[in-house]
Amino acid sequence: MKVVVIGAGNVATHLAKALYAANVQVTQVWSHHNENAKTLAAELNAKAIANLSEIDLAADICLVAIKDDAIVEIANQLKDFKGLIAHTSGAVNLNVFECQFENYGVFYPLQTFSKSKEVDFKVIPLCLEANNKSSLDKLKELASKLSRNIVEINSEKRKILHLAAVFACNFTNHLYELADEILKANQLDFDILRPLIAETAEKVQTAFPLDVQTGPAIRNDEQTLIKHQQLLLKQPQLLDIYKTLSDSIKKTK
Amino acid sequence: MKVVVIGAGNVATHLAKALYAANVQVTQVWSHHNENAKTLAAELNAKAIANLSEIDLAADICLVAIKDDAIVEIANQLKDFKGLIAHTSGAVNLNVFECQFENYGVFYPLQTFSKSKEVDFKVIPLCLEANNKSSLDKLKELASKLSRNIVEINSEKRKILHLAAVFACNFTNHLYELADEILKANQLDFDILRPLIAETAEKVQTAFPLDVQTGPAIRNDEQTLIKHQQLLLKQPQLLDIYKTLSDSIKKTK
């Protein structure tokens, strides 16, 4: 199975390396930034191509792992490709490919990727969708080389999943960041929060978050809620977030 | 060292059990709900007392692990106690004890406790404060039996820390809960998000959250931000949280 990777960002890099580690042949890498393509290709014994017209038309699968907004434009440039094309986005519909391709799909790894951090692909849910059975089977074959956690999901539900992931991951990381800001402004080190952050995530690996909610809002501890808001009086944005989320917690009871 | 535990909620239970496991003698447990005191005391070979007047005046340390709002009232009832009294709250000032006691302190474990889940006390930051050196030394001695992570911190900074912990833990868990709500409403299982949640927390164990932020807001992916907001049109509270946090992420760049 020969795979071409379009993109050299976080998702493309982690995915391409995981494929390489699983003995899947990645033959070419293209990126909007040719230098990034070269860097990634070098790690895969692949070829960095500078123009999409150089794409290997005989490759089995073309994985498009780029910014959502750019997928349509890149797809238009790839329309001579006769293999199976799949994007890796949580938010983009399968039918983005329907006008240009016969065999197309989605290969969405539900995970947060940063270049600096290795991830264990074996547990990552790989969310698959395709326009026909043979394409879906091909994506499943590829996915099974990387993960034990394969999920068939249509575009509508994938968008919901992506939205939920924004709450559970992107917003969560931002709350870590706000906590760090609060600490830094008071000469306290983020290190002191790390065990708490780890435990908060670990708890919900077996429990449901509703059953393990703690803190002043769920306890209706009004004195503490007021004290916290007083500490944030000079940071209206943090105060707004504090109020919004505390009110939301109170409503879950 | 003889310890009396006031409270039988999540913090009291985990702390008392950890003390027992560390061979610290917990002699008595009191709770507003006597049945809870009995249950906890039975696990510690301790005595459940129904009235605070029965407290062992010869105990070395009295740990007050109850709701913040109730600490003053309980302290007033304990004023004959001559040992070292300490509360376990992040948000209550040390001086809550100054009118009734000679030796007092704070023993604040920076962690989220749920009865259903065991925790490893060894890594939990135990944040200590006392009104004199001998009391601080006594708290340090107790803390060192439980954890490798002992932090001396005054009341002002402890309140800041507690506030930061609300962002990093309580609000974070609530975002998990909102994600679960979004999934449930669309017949999707929370299980699919668990690896993402684990990785999001694991990433910041070595990195700073600002350096590993991902998602549509940090990428300025306006198409996806708009699509997500359209999915939330019928849930104004979730929409409000989505907008508030996305705007806040955009401002961190």
Rounded Cα distance, A195 and A197, in Å? 5
Q: Which of A163, A211, A246 to mutate to test the interface with B (most CBs of B within 10 A)?
A: A163
Give, in order, the Cα–Cα distances in Å from A43 to each of A20, A28, A113, A182. Answer: 9, 12, 18, 40
Predicted TM-score (pTM) of the model is 0.91
Q: Which residues of A touch B208 (CB under 8 A)?
A: 177, 180, 190
What are the angstrom distances between the C-alpha of B67 and each of B3, B90, B145?
19, 11, 25
What ipTM is given for this predicted complex? Answer: 0.92
* A164 part of contact set with chain B, CB < 8 Å: yes
Cβ atoms of A212 and A204 within 8 Å: the answer is: yes
The yes-or-no verdict on residue A144 having pLDDT over 80 is: yes
Q: In what order do the strands lie in the sheet with B150-152?
A: B47-49, B25-30, B2-6, B61-64, B84-87, B104-109, B126-130, B150-152
The predicted model gives B164-171 an average pLDDT of 98
Task: State the Cα–Cα distance between residues A60 and A83, nearest whole angstrom.
Answer: 5
Judged by a CB distance cut-off of 8 A, whether residue A190 touches chain B is: yes
Which residue matches tokens 């956690």? A149
Predicted pLDDT at B127 = 98
Helix axes B236-251, B222-231, angle to 10 degrees: 160
Are B200 and A173 an interchain contact pair (Cβ–Cβ within 8 Å)?
A: yes
A159 SS3 class: helix
Report whether A182 contacts B164 (CB < 8 A): yes
| Tokens encoding A143 | 């996915």
pLDDT of residue A166: 98
- pLDDT tens digit string along B12-40? 999 999 999 999 999 999 999 999 999 99
pLDDT, tens only, A153-164: 999 999 999 999
Mean pLDDT to the nearest integer, A241-252: 96
Work out the minimum CA distance from B70 to partner chain A, whole angstroms.
10
Chains A–B, number of C-beta pairs less than 8 Å apart: 328
Enumerate residues 6+ apart whose C-beta is below 8 A from B225: B216, B217, B246
Helix axes B172-184, A236-252, angle to 10 degrees: 50
What is the least distance, in Å, from the CA of B60 to any CA of chain A?
A: 28
Instruction: State the pLDDT confidence band at B223, using cuts at 50, 70 and 90.
Output: confident
CA distance linking residue B93 with residue B81, whole number of Å: 20
| Average of per-residue pLDDT across A152-175 | 97
Checking if the pLDDT of A213 tops 90, the result is: yes
Distance from CA of A64 to the nearest CA of B (A): 17
Q: What is the pLDDT of residues B59-95, one digit of tens each?
A: 999 999 998 889 999 999 999 999 999 999 999 999 9
Q: Does residue A221 surpass a pLDDT of 90?
A: no
| Measured distance CA(B52)–CA(B29) in Å, rounded | 10
